[in-house]
Amino acid sequence: MSAQKNILQGPVIDLHMHTTVSDGTDLPEEIPAKVKEHGIRLFSITDHDAIKAALIVPPLLKEGDPDFITGVEFSCKDELGKYHILGYGYDPRLPSINETVQKGHNLRMKKVHARLDFLKERFGFSFPQGELNKLLTQDNPGKPHIANLMVKYGYAKTKEEAILDYINQVHFHSEYVRPEEAIAGILGSGGIPILAHPAYGSGDQLILGEEMEERLVRLMGFGLKGLESFYSGFTPKITNEMLGLAEKYGLYVTAGSDYHGRNKLITLGDNGLSEDTVYPEGMKRFLEDVRRHEV
């Protein structure tokens, strides 16, 4: 792919999306055509705790298709809260990223089994063995997959009800990749670690001001390199605060929609950028530097 395209004009970047490899509804093979239809010229697939799309997509790209960089999103937690760490431009062949992904997958499967056991013991919710086999053989099943089963078998009216009223009653304290592990795994494979939707913590928690800055400085100590400052769920006020922090600490800036196909009411490219957006220096530097990793 050419590194000479002018990608500094317009909403042509989307670096945060999910496929069926995690909790999206589009196959990885379907994404290149869809991002092209939406006018996106640089994209990354960031499935949770999974890098399968980084191996599937590059061979599919042809001359004139959007540019692609490898991506991943690690679901992390430590004593101070939850974090989602994005990784870009890593080499999917290297042990560092693969070992971190495998740990995330193993912990994710442990939580799936615990949630199923809880629903059966607490509420008497059970599912046919065929459905369970199908669930457990998916790449990275999680809460949305269990919720869809609950709706299908009449245990909840909506996926949201299933998660909020039932599945979220199960709490985990240590079944997560720690943020420093995720950052180390990304860096060790030549990638760039970015904090996803930085203002959002656990549940409806909104992290801003001094708390946000303290969290950021702590993660920078582990090697964090940037902030996802443009995001589908951000107000202009939140975006401006994230941009201010990125400028203060000389961090990269990225933009992502968090597209999940039919699982969320978010479209590709919905990340707060517009035709009139003047890209901040942190984003320009990211786009220039990440070209070294471009597929």
Q: Is the pLDDT of residue 105 over 60?
A: yes
pLDDT (tens digit per residue) in 187-201: 999 999 999 999 998
**Given this model, what pLDDT does residue 9 score?**
46
Checking if the pLDDT of 208 tops 80, the result is yes
Determine the Cα–Cα distance for residues 183 and 181; give it in Å rounded to an integer. Answer: 5
Q: Which two tokens stand for residue 78?
A: 């430590």
Domains belonging to the chain, first-starting first, are 13-101+176-293 (3.20.20.140), 106-169 (1.10.150)
Beta bridge partners of 87: 72, 193
* Mean pLDDT in residue range 106-124: 93
Question: Does residue 238 carry a pLDDT above 50?
Answer: yes
pLDDT at residue 294 in the model: 55
- Given a cut of 50, whether residue 4 has pLDDT beyond it is no
pLDDT at 171: 83
Query: How confident is the model at residue 293, as a pLDDT?
Result: 59
What is the pLDDT at residue 264?
A: 83
Express as a percent the part of the chain with pLDDT over 70: 95
The model's pTM is: 0.88
pLDDT band at residue 140 under the 50/70/90 scheme: confident
Percent of the chain with pLDDT over 90: 73
Count of Cβ atoms closer than 10 Å to residue 275 Cβ: 8
DSSP notation for 41-101:
SEE----BT--HHHHHSGGG--TTSPEE--EEEEEEEETTEEEEEEEES--TTSHHHHHHH
Beta strand segments in 92-225, E: 192-195
| Mean of per-residue pLDDT scores for the chain | 91
- Residue 41 neighbours by CB distance under 10 Å: 17
Tell me the per-residue pLDDT of 241-287, one tens digit each, with 9 for 90 and over. 999 999 999 999 999 999 999 888 899 999 998 878 889 999 999 99
